[in-house]
């Protein structure tokens, strides 16, 4: 039986992006709607607000190999130095689409940044899915997306996963490890016509995909063959993203949202918006840094 509990007594509006930093023994995570970057220490329970004056439209954050932040938001992809505060624009392939904003970002096993965009209504399929290589070249991986979400990569780096949340489908691409070439889109797992939508994702060391199900009150574990293995029930309706961390990478951290919930719904699910942690009996994989 999985054990799920609140890791931190802090309610976010739209918690996202749990990212474990093994060298620091800290978990970084975001609030997208009250834009902030946090750093959480599980040992002490201390949660620091590292940046609270970020632009609106914050969509995701990863690290580069110099310890700087790569941030995606409604004005593109940027490098932000957490020490000096210096911000450098990297690219904005969505400059001609003011209706879109970037959403979520992850780094693959070769050090390349993958990020997607979505219409600000989260439904209209005007979004795209991009890959930024360390040299600064951007490739368009896919188009006509309602809301690109949750990039994740198999432990061997040979497969990329992502989901179009309103389509309720997870897709995958094969990656050539020698050349980095990305193959055609394939359907990996399709959820039924129910309210739940696949959101942020990660993989464990055995290659299972873990996905937060918005409006689903759970996190799902999916086998490498695309079959559903199990659902881990949660005390909140809107889990947003998942990431392994902690001692031995054995804890699954789950960000959640309180966005749009009524007072009555919050009384019924008081942990909405809080950072949760679960023991799911699996070990995660340390996420790489952007090599650019």
Q: Which parts are annotated binding residues?
A: 16, 103, 121, 149, 199
Stretches where the chain sits below pLDDT 50 are: none
Q: Which parts are annotated binding residues for a divalent metal cation?
A: 16, 149, 199
> Kindly report the CA angle at 142 between 136 and 143, in degrees rounded to 5?
110
What is the rounded distance in angstroms from the CA atom of residue 151 to the CA atom of residue 114? 7
Amino acid 202: pLDDT: 98
Which of the following is catalytic: 31, 73, 142, 199? 199
3-state SS assignment for residue 268: helix
Amino acid 100: pLDDT: 92
The pTM score is 0.97
Amino acid 254: pLDDT: 98
Share in percent of the chain as helix, strand, coil (round to 5): 5, 50, 45
Annotation marks residue 199 as catalytic: yes
Amino acid 85: pLDDT: 84
Q: Where are the domains of the chain?
A: 3-279
CATH assignment, 3-279: 2.120.10.30
Amino acid 106: pLDDT: 97
Amino acid 225: pLDDT: 98
Could you read off the pLDDT of 83-139 as tens digits, one per residue?
Answer: 888 899 999 999 999 999 999 999 999 999 999 999 989 889 999 999 999 999 999
């Amino acid at each position: 039986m999985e054990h799920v509990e609140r890791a931190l007594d802090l309610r976010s509006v739209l918690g996202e992006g749990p990212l474990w930093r093994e060298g620091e023994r800290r978990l970084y995570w975001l609030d997208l709607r009250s834009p902030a970057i946090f750093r959480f220490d599980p040992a002490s329970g201390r949660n620091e607000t590292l940046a609270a004056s970020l632009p609106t439209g914050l969509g995701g954050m990863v690290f580069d190999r110099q310890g700087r932040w790569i941030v995606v938001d409604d004005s593109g992809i940027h490098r932000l130095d957490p020490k000096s505060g210096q911000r450098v624009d990297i690219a904005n392939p969505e400059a001609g689409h003011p209706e879109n904003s970037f959403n979520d970002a992850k780094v693959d096993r070769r050090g390349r940044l993958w990020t997607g965009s979505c219409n600000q209504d989260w439904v209209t399929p005007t979004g795209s899915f991009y890959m930024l290589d360390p040299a600064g070249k951007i490739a368009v991986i896919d188009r006509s997306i309602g809301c690109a979400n949750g990039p994740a990569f198999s432990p061997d780096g040979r497969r990329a996963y992502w989901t179009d949340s309103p389509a309720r489908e997870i897709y995958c691409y094969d990656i050539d490890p020698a050349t980095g070439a990305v193959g055609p889109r394939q359907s990996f797992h399709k959820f039924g016509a129910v309210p739940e939508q696949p959101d942020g994702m990660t993989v464990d060391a055995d290659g299972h995909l873990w996905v937060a199900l918005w409006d689903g009150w759970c996190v799902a574990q999916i086998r490498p063959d695309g079959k559903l293995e199990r659902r881990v029930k949660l005390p909140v309706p809107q889990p947003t993203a998942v990431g392994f961390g902690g001692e031995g990478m054995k804890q699954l951290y789950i960000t959640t949202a309180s966005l749009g919930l009524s007072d009555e719904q919050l009384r019924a699910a008081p942990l909405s918006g809080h950072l949760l942690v679960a023991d799911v009996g699996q070990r995660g994989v340390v996420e790489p840094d952007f090599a650019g």
